[in-house]
Structures are given as structure tokens and as C-alpha cells.
Structure 1
Amino acid sequence: MFKLTVCLLTYNSARLLHKVLPPLIRIADEIIVVDSGSSDETLSILEEYEISSIFHPYAMHGEQMNIAISRSTHRWVLCMDSDEILDEDTLQYILALKSGEEPSADCGWSLSRYWYVLGERTRTIYPISSPDYPLRLFNRSHVRFNNRPVDDKAVGAEQVTRIPGHVRHDTFYSLHEVFNKLNTYTSRVVKYQVLRPSIARGVASAIGAFFKWYLFSGAWRQGKVGVVTGFYATAYSFLKYFKAWYQYQDKRESASREHTDSHLIE
């Protein structure tokens, strides 16, 4: 038998917290919440459940998770986002796992996570197919999250077992959220990754994404939700290159102005 710390990230998470917290409380011996500055009812809801939070300004998802992991007093941790809801099958599996012998430290378990867009289960959301199986339960002495700007993941476990169940990932819950994440994620990619600043490459990438993530994936069968996920994939593929191109042009113009100003001073 071993004890488990649940690490939870929050930011304006009031929408789902009353569904997210009760399952986690059932399996947690300790809950560590890292909040990145919520301005809604998130903190008051946590207080209702007698859960305190740690404030840390948001940098990247992986960094936030690692901060939560580092505060754990137990070796085994379950890392969750505040839009992920555990189902009964997942809960029973984890409870049974906890009641048995403590596993080897190099073991880990992945969740069976199903993505929901605008309240409807979807087959794809660029660049992920649903369900996906992120590693989330592990020994913190062996595993940490990497610092990829988008689609980070926990790395380090040598033996990973998939937990049966249906973890609802209720993301992209409104059109506003779709556009907000589209802008945030593409800006983050441009900031932290090296991309060729090319509009032509962006157009080619967008066309490829449209065929792969809307037509070939079968998203077109899902009506308006399929259109939204297809648009997201297409726009994401174009915007990251467009933003890289715009940033590159901006730097060139700034350098040119500085060069001109230096000559005028001379």
C-alpha cells in the first residue's frame, strides 16, 4: 500500500471544479494545487473543499506541474488539469493499485483521456487523436514534465501501464476558448521554437492540415464541431508560420531603422 499526492493546476477553473475535485478527493492522501492567478471563483471553491493553493505566475504547463510535484510529501503523484474529470472505472483502478504492494519506482500509469470540444466528444483536436494516453501517475523521483511550449509530457518512466476508463477532457468549451487557445498556443510556439519565417510554408502547412485533420480524419462527419476542429488545425498550422514571418519582418524593419538613425547621427 502506498500514499498518493494529487497535483492539480488551476487558472479561472470555476466552471468544472465541482466535478473535478470530488473524484480526486476520493483517491488523494494529499492535494497540491498550483494556481496561476485566478480571478474567478476558483479559490473560493477550493476553500469550500478545505484545499489551499500555491500561487505561481504561469510560464509553461510543464513547469507548473513540476512545481506542484516538488511540493509533494509523498513519492507517488497523480498530475491533473482542472478540465479533466476522472470516471468511476479510473477511480476504482487507482484505489485498487494503492491498496496493493508498492510498485517499482520506474513504473508509471497513463490515463485514457477523451477530448470534448463544445461539449461533444471528438475524434481529433490538432495535433492529437482522441483518446490519447498521457502519463500522469508515477514516482516523482523518476519522472518530471519536459518544458515543451505546447504538448509537454511527463518523461522518465520505463514501464507504463494504461489505466482503463474514460477521463473526460472538457476543453475548448466555447468559440471564445477556441480562438483564445489558438492565439496563445501559436504565440508560445513562435516564442520558444525556431520556425522558418515563411508565409508560403504556412499556406502549405495549412492545406496539409485541412486534408489530414478535417477530411481524412473524418471530422467532417461531426457537423459544426468537426468544422471547428478542422478550422483549428488549419488556422494553427498557418498562424505559427505567419507569426514567425511577422516577427522576422518586424525585427528587420527595426534593424533597418536603427541603421538609418546611426548614419543620420554621424
Structure 2
Amino acid sequence: MFKITVCLLTFNSERLLHDVIPPLLIIADEVIIVDSGSTDNTVYICQSYGLSPVFKKYGWHGEQMNYAVSLASNDWVLCIDSDEILDPDTVNTILKLKTDGEPEPGMAWRICRHWFVLGEKVRTIYPVSSPDYPVRLFNRKQARFNNRPVDDQVEGFLHSERIPGYVRHDTFHTLHELFNKLNGYTTRLVQYQTIRPSIGRGVISAIGAFFKWYLFSGAWRQGRVGVATGLYATVYSFLKYFKAWYQYQDERESAAREQTDSHFIK
């Protein structure tokens, strides 16, 4: 039998914590919660379950998860976000895995993750299709999250299998949350990845995203939720290029001002 540390990330997560935490307590030999500065009842709810969150200022998701993993006492870790709810089949399968003996360190397990946006199950949410199958259970000495500013994933494992059951990923509960995260994701993307600064490319990308993620994906059948996910994909595709262009123009103007100032000083 091997032990598992559950690593849970929180930030103003009171809405779902009473659904998220109980299944985790069934399978966890240890729970590490890393909170990035919640101002709601998140910390109080965690404490009501006997759990004490550790504070770490948010950088990006993979960095936060790797920090939680580094605090684990056990080599095997299950990494979960505070908007992800494990179903009974997943819990029972993990309990059985624990009794089968310790696996090879290079082994990892994927969880079927169904996305819910504005309370409804969706087929797509840019840039993934639902369900997707992220690796969430792995040996921390073998694997870890990469450092991508968005859409990070676990790397370093040698083999993976899918765990029966699924996780309900109840994300973007309100329009405010959807567009707030859209703004944050695109800003981080431009800051930490090289994006071609081009408004024209942004327009073309946005048009392509509209057709792919709204029309061709069938999102249009889902009424207002489909419009929201289609708009999310379209605006995301445009914003990343627009923000890169805006940043490039700002840097050019700053360089020109510095050059002008140095000329007058001479």
C-alpha cells in the first residue's frame, strides 16, 4: 500500500469547497492546501475540516502546484483545483490503487475532466475540448508541472493510465469570472511567451476561433452559454496578439523618447 498526498490550490473558493474537500479526505493520507490570499471564507472552511492552508502569492498555476507538491511528505501526489469535484468512481479506484502495492515511479494517472461553464456542461472551452484527460496523480520524484504561464501540464512521467470516473470542473461560474480570467490569462501569455505583435494576425485568429470554437464545435446549440464560450475563444485569440502589439508599440515609443532625451543632453 502506498500513501498519497492531496495538493489543493485555493483562492476565494468558498462556493465549492464543501463539495471538493470531502471526497479528497477519503483518499488522502495528507492534504496540502496552498492559498493565494483568499478574502472570503475559504480559509475558515478549510479549517473546519481540520486543514490549515499555506499562503503563497500567486504567480501562475504550475508554479503554485509545484510549490504545493514540494511540501508533500509522500512521493505520490494527487493535484486538484478548488473547482474540481471527484466522483465516487474516481475515489473508489484510487482507494483500490493504494491497496495494489506501490507502482513504478514513472507511472501516472489521468482523470477524465468534464468542464462546466456558467453552471452548464460544455463540449469546448478554448483551447480544450471537454472532456480532457490531464495527469493528476503522479510521483513527485519523477514528474512535475511545467512552467507555462497558461495551460500548464504535468511532465516527466513515463507511462500513464486513465482512472475510471470523472472530475466535474465547475469553472467560470459567472461572466465576471470568465472575462476576468480571460484578461489575466492573455496578459500572462504575452508576458512570458513570444507572441507576434500584429493586429492583423489577431483579427484573422479571432475569425478562425469564432468558426472553430463556436460554429464548428456546435457551441451555438447551447444558447447563451455557447455564446459565452464562443466569445471567450474569439476575444482570447484577438487579445493575445493585440496585447503583444500594444506592448511592442509602448516599447518602441519608450526607446524613441530615450533616444530623443539623450540627443538633447548631448
Who is 1:144 aligned against? 144
**1:265 positional shift:** 2.3
Who is 1:221 aligned against? 221
Matched, 1:200 2:203: no
AA partner of residue 208 (structure 1): G
Matched, 1:22 2:22: yes
Provide the rounded CA distance (Å) in 2 between the counterparts of 1:217 and 1:177. 23
Provide the rounded CA distance (Å) in 2 between the counterparts of 1:261 and 1:106. 58
Task: Return the TM-score normalized by structure 1.
Answer: 0.99
Provide the rounded CA distance (Å) in 2 between the counterparts of 1:234 and 1:44. 38
The equivalences for 1:35-54 within 5 A come to 35-54=35-54
Cα deviation per residue 1:223-244 (whole Å; 9 max; x = unaligned)? 1111001000000000000000
Residue ranges of structure 2 left out of the alignment (5+ in a row) = none
Provide the rounded CA distance (Å) in 2 between the counterparts of 1:258 and 1:70. 44
Who is 2:240 aligned against? 240
Aligned-residue identity in percent: 68
Who is 1:250 aligned against? 250
Matched, 1:134 2:126: no
Provide the rounded CA distance (Å) in 1 between the counterparts of 2:38 and 2:177. 16
Provide the rounded CA distance (Å) in 1 between the counterparts of 2:2 and 2:194. 43
Matched, 1:164 2:164: yes
Provide the rounded CA distance (Å) in 1 between the counterparts of 2:106 and 2:9. 24
Provide the rounded CA distance (Å) in 2 between the counterparts of 1:177 and 1:60. 17
Give the secondary-structure state (helix, strand or coil) at the position aligned to 1:32. Answer: strand
AA partner of residue 153 (structure 1): Q
Paired residues, number: 266
Give the ranges of 4+ consecutive aligned residues of structure 1 lying more than 3 Å apart after TM superposition.
none
Q: CA RMSD in A?
A: 0.7
**1:166 positional shift:** 2.2
Who is 2:55 aligned against? 55
Provide the rounded CA distance (Å) in 1 between the counterparts of 2:189 and 2:66. 20
Provide the rounded CA distance (Å) in 2 between the counterparts of 1:2 and 1:166. 22
Provide the rounded CA distance (Å) in 1 between the counterparts of 2:101 and 2:264. 76
**1:264 positional shift:** 2.1
Provide the rounded CA distance (Å) in 2 between the counterparts of 1:104 and 1:49. 32
Who is 2:77 aligned against? 77
Task: Return the TM-score normalized by structure 2.
Answer: 0.99
Residue ranges of structure 1 left out of the alignment (5+ in a row) = none
Cα deviation per residue 1:80-133 (whole Å; 9 max; x = unaligned)? 000000001111111111111111111110111000000000000000000000
Provide the rounded CA distance (Å) in 2 between the counterparts of 1:168 and 1:131. 10
